[in-house]
Amino acid sequence: MLMPSERASCVPCDRRVFAFEAAVSCLPRICPKTRSARFTQPQYSIASSALTQGCKRARANYWPASRQDERIVAAARVSYGKGTKSVREDAGLIAYLMRHGHTSPFEQVILTIHAKMPIFVARQWVRHRTARLNEVSGRYSILADEFYLPERTQIKPQSKRSKQGRAITELPKETQDRVLALLQRDQQTVYDSYQEFLTADIARELARINLPLSTYTQWYWQIDLHNLFNFLLLRLDSHAQYEIRQYAEAIVPFVRAVAPIAWSAFEEHALYAKKLPKTLNERLRRFLEESAPAQSEASGLLDELNRL
């Protein structure tokens, strides 16, 4: 459940005006499947902040967290000039920006996400280079006894259609049990060795090297809305691994809360929009042109396609 709370104040001139902080109480479903009971608390938080240069400008430029759409519109108006004032016009302008790849106004909205995830999820997540992050250090800290165990229903065979996916076929319960038992056994064995190394005062940076990809790590991750949309486009997709998709899905309500109009534009013009290959596009147009004289709907669709 989303629990956004807003806090805003005029702070010393060289500090951030911190506009938004929220926490999710139900985490990506993969978190509670760890061996640790500590996952009952929220492990995921997000902040959207406005960097301002002075108290006066802070007041003038301040947008509450839930109104970050206005920040996008204001940035765009630097390009297009004043004139689009109403919410409907703002929505039209944001849709226009999204449709035409005018992405820089979306970069004005910055989100910071505190997330905890298994290392194999972090490995995929970190490939998104247009973010800034700070991760827990296994050289400095003792890593907790926290490992990811998939839900039984997620234990699937290798996909025959995709070299990097799982099939939808169900496995027999005995196979699933065996996989879970082996995963748990190995996690326990390796963590026991880790603890033994630490007890023997072996350096933490060496003690950790056999810990598995299922070990939890955590970080602060800061990204602008344009690049977050790119992350979501790729990681909400059915080709993304199930586990990272859970995190992408957990981020969506925050984006919707922070910039609802931009989110709708993203859904309409990017997330659920399909780019057609040239040949398919030509076939579709030909088909509509041939059908248009007899069917007014085909004629309308053709007009809409031509307006894009």
Ligand X SMILES: Cc1cc2nc3c(=O)[nH]c(=O)nc-3n(C[C@H](O)[C@H](O)[C@H](O)COP(=O)(O)OP(=O)(O)OC[C@H]3O[C@@H](n4cnc5c(N)ncnc54)[C@H](O)[C@@H]3O)c2cc1C
To ligand X, the closest distance from the beta carbon of 239 in angstroms equals: 4
The answer to whether 104 contacts ligand X (rule: CB under 6 A) is: no
Distances (CA, A) of 277 to 59, 203, 255, 299, 302: 48, 55, 30, 21, 17
Say whether 231 sits in a helix, a strand or coil: helix
The answer to whether 166 contacts ligand X (rule: CB under 6 A) is: no
The answer to whether 128 contacts ligand X (rule: CB under 6 A) is: yes
CA angle 79, 307, 268 (to 5 degrees): 70
Nearer to ligand X, 154 or 227 (CB): 227
Contact 68, 255 (CB under 8 A): no
CA angle 273, 244, 32 (to 5 degrees): 135
Nearer to ligand X, 59 or 239 (CB): 239
Q: Using CB under 6 A, which of 82, 100, 127, 278 touches ligand X?
A: 127
Stretch that binds ligand X, among 15-23, 75-83, 125-133, 265-273 (CB under 6 A): 125-133
The answer to whether 239 contacts ligand X (rule: CB under 6 A) is: yes
To ligand X, the closest distance from the beta carbon of 94 in angstroms equals: 20
Nearer to ligand X, 66 or 230 (CB): 230
- Give the whole-angstrom CA distance, residue 263 versus residue 256: 6
To ligand X, the closest distance from the beta carbon of 231 in angstroms equals: 7
Specify whether 286 is catalytic: no
Catalytic residue among 235, 256, 283, 286: 235
Contact 247, 125 (CB under 8 A): yes
Crossing angle (nearest 10°) for helices 278-291 and 296-307? 140
Which residues bind to ligand X, rule: CB under 6 A? 127-130, 227, 230, 234, 239-240
What residues are annotated to the active site? 235
